[in-house]
Structure formats: C-alpha cells, structure tokens
Amino acid sequence: MPHATIRHEHILRAREVVARLSVEEKVAQLEAVPFTHFLDESGRFSEAKAEEIAKYGVGIVKRVYGNGAFLDNAQMAREFNRLQEFLVKRSTARLPAMIEEEAAGGLMAPGATAFPSPLAMASTFDPGLMSRVADAIGRQARALGVHQVFSPVLDLCIDPRWGRCEETFGEDPRLAAAMGVSYVKSVQAHGVAATLKHFVAYGMSEGGRNGANSWVGELDLRNLALVPFESAVKEARPLSVMASYNDVDGVPSHANGLLIDGVLRGEWGFEGFVVSDAEGVTRLLWLHRVARDAEEAALLSLSAGIDVENSYAPMRERLFWSLVEAVRSGRLPEYILDRHVERVVAVKASLGLLENPYVSYDGGPVETAEDRALAREAAERAIILLKNDGVLPLSRDSRVLLTGPGASQPLAMLFDYHLQAHRGLGRQVTPVVTVLEGLRSLLPKLDHWPVSSFTSCRDDEVEGAREAAGGHDVVVVVVGERSGGFWLRDSEVLSGEGVDRDPTLPDCQLRLLRSLAGSGARLVIVLIAGRPVSLPEDVIKAASAVLLTFYPGEEGGDAIARALVGLVNPSGRLPVTIPSSVGDVP
C-alpha cells in the first residue's frame, strides 16, 4: 500500500460520491461509532443493530480489536467484515466504514507489540528509532485491516501533575515535533491514517487538570503548543487531527474556528478531516455551556471545522443528527455539510477503501520476533541513569534482594493506552517481561521480597523487606506508578488519562524506601512512572543508584535487568524536567 496522502483525484472522487447521498447519508459519514454497538451479547455481529444504527451508513467504526470485551482478532475481523458487507450492500449509502484503533505505544489489539510509551520513546532522543517503531505499528495495523489510528499525541507535558504526560513526547516542542513527524510518516507509509491529537494546548491546562482551561497567550501558543502540530502537518501530511477537550483562553477547542479552520487549515494547509474527542461536541452543552441545545452545539463545532462526531452515545443521542433538520430548515446550507463529508470520503478514497473494503486477516501472529527485539532495543535506549556511586553494574556474585510493588507486576511496564492497562485486564494479551523475570536469569544469588500494592503496601511487607535486605549486598527496589485511566476506578492506578495528581510517590512507597535505606545494604532505586516524579532529598542521598524509565513496554523487565548488570548502557535522557517538589510546578 503506498503512502496514504490525499491527491486531487481523491477529492474529485469524494465530490462525485457525496453528490449522490441524501442528507441522512451525509450525516452518517460524520459519525464515529464503537464496534460494540453492532455486536450482540455473544460478540457476534447483529443485523438488527446494524439496521437500527447504520441504515444510512457510518463513517468510522472504532475499537474493533481493542474493545476489551472479546479478544480474538480473527473473530473480530470476521464480524467486522459482516458489518462492512451490510454497509456496502444494504445501507442506503453503500459506503464502507473505516476501522479506527489506538496506537500511541503499539496497536491496541491482542498480540500486538507493546512498545515503550511515547514519553519513554522521547527519552531516546532518536527520531530514527521512533520511525522504526512506528513502521512496525503501521505494519501490524495494516495486517489487521485498521485504516486509522488515533495517534500520535503531540501535546506537551508542561505540568507533570497532568496524568497524560506519559502519552506525550515530553515538554520540548522541537523534540515532540521530530518524534511526531517520524511517527506519522512511518505509519502512513503503510496506508494507515494517523491522527494528531489533541488540538491544542491540552497539556498546558490550569493546575494540570485533565481538560481544564489553558490560559495560554499567543506567544506560548505559537512557540510551544502549536509547534509539533505545525511540523507534522507540513512535513508529514497527516490525514486526521483530533480536537482537544479544553478551552484555550475561554474558547472551547471544539468550537474554535480561529485555530481549526484558521490556523490548521488556513495557515498550514491541512487537507484531512478533524474528529472530535470522545463526547467533545456534547461537552459544549454540559461542560463549556456555550450551546443551548443539540443543534446549536453541532452547528458550533461544524462551523469551527470539526468534521466527525466521535461518541460512545447511542445514535439517537448523538448531536450531529440534528444537522439533518438544520439543513432542511435552511439553518445550515447543504453545500457546507457537503464540504465536511467530502473530507471524510476523500480520506477513504486515499486509503483504497472504496475499492477494497474488507479485512483479509484470518488469524496468525500479529507480532514478529523482530518486533519484539525492537521493543527491547527501544526499552533499553529509554532507560535514564540519574545517579550511580559505582554500585552499578551489579556483579553476578552480588547477593541481591529485589523488592517493591513494580518488581513483579506486568502492569507496571505498561502505560494507559496499552490494551492490558487500558482495560485493567488481569490476563496478559501480549506477554510482558517483569524486572523479576529479567533478573532471574542474570543474577544467580537473587532473592525476591514481594510488595503487593503501589498505594497501600502493608506494614509487614515494609518491615519484612528491611529484614530481608539485611543479608544482602544490594537491594533493588522497583517503585513508581501504575497506569490505567479514570474509567477503571482503581486505587492502584496513579497515572493515565484523568489521573491527575501531585508528581510524588505515595507515602507507602516512601516508607518502603526509607526503611530499606537503613537496612545496611546498598540501595538501588528503579523508578518506573508516567510522569517526572520527584524524590525527597533524603531518599536521593540514601540511594547508591537511581534508574528511571517511563513505562518501557513488554520487554521492559529484560531491558532494566540488562541495564542493572551492565549489558546495556542506560543512555536515555530526560525529555521532561523533574521538579524538586510540587511547589515547583508548573
């Protein structure tokens, strides 16, 4: 498949297609609908639901593989093909849908490679490595028939209290731009549409709160927030952009025509379509309160340049359907609606979807041995050495105790848009190597003392770790954060979307570190987190060495183990500033 880009013939084809559609069929192309809406309780395609939801067609079907309910890729491909057959043969529009998935640190699908998180990739300062990782992501996505990914995240991590720092390429706009350009070029080379997100200044929110207002002036907007997006649009020509939840100086991004139609399209020449963030149009009603009703919210977002309503709501509750009546009443000229639909159809044409709508995947491994080797290489390159008094590398003859909540939990290696962490799954959908597993084969005299919790480690675990450390030369303690998202409602989740907090370790982990500092063994701290986490001065002084990595992915345990014993040089560098305390942020 050639590099996905919109050419003149795709625009002409889109105009030809849109000209024959009814108003209802046009609006249907501006909807992104979860795949689960089309499935029955057994996970099979339901014709009855399709008749109800998609009789006029649908633009995008999202989370076909990463929906979390059913984890058989071949089954999901077959069920999607049944939906696609319905759309091209029985819906009135006769147009296929795009499959969308998440792919910031690897495709969100069972068996796909869980590469290091974007913040970890930024620690390598290597756009070439990012290009190789994104190439593997694009190839895996294409193999499963995915047409669009909601990646990369080009927000900046300006305030480490913001829980989505882990999804970014750090705080520096030029580094984020270089990594973002590499990602988009490599993914789209496989005929998969990349989606820049979130437009714009989402990571510069007041108080580091998710979706809060961004009080950012024109200078910071131009010199910081917009830089990665501008570079990606001009150098890599992405096919899609996602709007952000926040306000920018009081104007909601989903109603900000100055930024979307003015800067993104007018100044930079963006040719693809703009999709809302999930329920972003609806938020104009209940959160931003700039619209009185569904039609006004839909018209506000459409007039600002939003093309697709991305929502989890039932079809009857989606705001863009009010556009049908707006056209018929004359409040929305139909030629304006046509312009938005043409953008979506032009992308479908550029992806070859109009000629070949079906997924050809019928089973088999998604990940290759080379992909897994690349995941380990990337994880190794992302490790940052913050302190070492000579204790590292560890000798094979050293008596080492491994402890801490992150030592043996696979979820400690994953960020919130890795499938297992995103869904809070107890079972592994891609094998993840822990630090314990990585060190066992390298250190013959390794012992392990388990600590069960990131947030409420028990007193007996803390005291037991100190006593066990007394008989060892070195104690390696793996601390930090576990990632997920606000939707999991899990007290163990300390980082991720909507998980905004002070950039410090929980008290129980600090108790563990201080207890181990007095054990007599030399203390090596391995910090795995989704944001720059500040360590108290007394803990830093007590430690003989400190290693940091930002969610290294499925091969993270091996990579960390190899760095500890000297098989890998921890050459990563900080893409974010570590505050000495919360009083230093933003």
Active site residue 277: yes
Nearest to 563 by CA among 509, 526, 519: 526
Owner of token pair 């139909």: 334
Alpha-carbon distance of 19 to 280, in angstroms, equals 28
Cα-Cα-Cα-Cα dihedral sign, residues 62, 65, 71, 75: positive
Backbone angles phi, psi at 248, to 5 degrees: -120, 110
Backbone angles phi, psi at 549, to 5 degrees: -145, 150
Run of H or E including 549: strand 545-549
Rg for the chain (alpha carbons), in Å?
A: 24
Give 536's contacts (C-beta < 8 A, 6+ positions apart): 510
Alpha-carbon distance of 265 to 202, in angstroms, equals 19
Backbone dihedral region for residue 198 (phi beyond 0: left; psi -120 to 50: alpha; all else: beta): beta
Alpha-carbon distance of 475 to 376, in angstroms, equals 24
477 CB neighbour count, 10 Å cutoff: 27
DSSP per-residue codes, 161-178: TSGGGGGS--S-HHHHHH
Q: Alpha carbon of 315 to those of 159, 306, 318, 400, 582: distances in Å?
A: 37, 18, 5, 58, 43
> Hey, what are 463's tokens?
């005291």
Run of H or E including 459: helix 459-469
Alpha-carbon distance of 148 to 4, in angstroms, equals 11
Number of H helices, E strands in the chain: 21, 18
Beta bridge partners of 273: 240
Alpha-carbon distance of 463 to 458, in angstroms, equals 9
Cis peptide before 422 (omega within 30 of 0): no
What does the DSSP 8-state code read for residue 221? I
Q: Alpha carbon of 274 to those of 191, 271, 384, 399, 507: distances in Å?
A: 18, 10, 36, 56, 43
Active-site residue, from 155, 277, 338, 371: 277
Contact 29, 345 (CB under 8 A): yes
Alpha-carbon distance of 502 to 448, in angstroms, equals 30
Contact 343, 272 (CB under 8 A): yes
- Helix, strand, or coil (residue 99): strand
Q: Where are the alpha helices (DSSP H) in 189-226?
A: 218-220
Q: What angle do CA 503, 215, 296 make, to 5 degrees?
A: 115
Alpha-carbon distance of 420 to 320, in angstroms, equals 32
Contact 177, 170 (CB under 8 A): no
Residues marked as catalytic: 277
